[in-house]
Amino acid sequence: MPTFESPAADADEVQTALRALAHATRRIDDPREIYSVLGSLTSAVASLSQSLHQIAEYHDGRHRNAQWAPADAPTTRSAAYRVSWDLHRAGEMLRQVGVVIGNAHEAEAMLAYHREFPQPLVSGDPVNRGLSL
């Protein structure tokens, strides 16, 4: 259950959910579910992108609680800059991935799936499959 307050706990839950999704999509029994899955993934990737940008902003010095500021040393500033840069890059990449998944989601909406049922076997003449008495 999401906490909406503990980033570490919520990240663990996301990891578990994505692992379960990876397991569940190994075999798709009902392709009509694909549209819904793609819609959820589009939203999830957008939220992940936002989270990465927000974590990067912490390292940019924005939204930082002064009592938790890293030591002011050149190596620390360098590491914070690297974390920020990599997270902003990853967030932007994920934003673009979300756009592509969204495009697939739109295209999936145009597909209509139907289930093919096997023809019943009729006893009698294989050429004439009509009713027999």
Record the pTM: 0.78
**Which amino acid is present at 133?**
L
Model confidence at 67, pLDDT cuts 50, 70, 90, reads low
Q: In the predicted model, what is the mean pLDDT of residues 23-30?
A: 94
Residue in 99, 90, 114, 115 with CA at minimum distance from that of residue 38: 99
H helices of the chain, in order, are 7-24, 34-60, 74-108
For the cut 80, the answer to whether the pLDDT of residue 132 exceeds it is no
CA 91 – CA 44 distance, rounded (Å): 12
**Which amino acid is present at 73?**
A
For the cut 80, the answer to whether the pLDDT of residue 82 exceeds it is yes
CA 42 – CA 52 distance, rounded (Å): 16
For the cut 70, the answer to whether the pLDDT of residue 75 exceeds it is yes
The residue extents of the domains of the chain are 32-108
Torsion sign (Cα): 79, 83, 85, 86:
positive
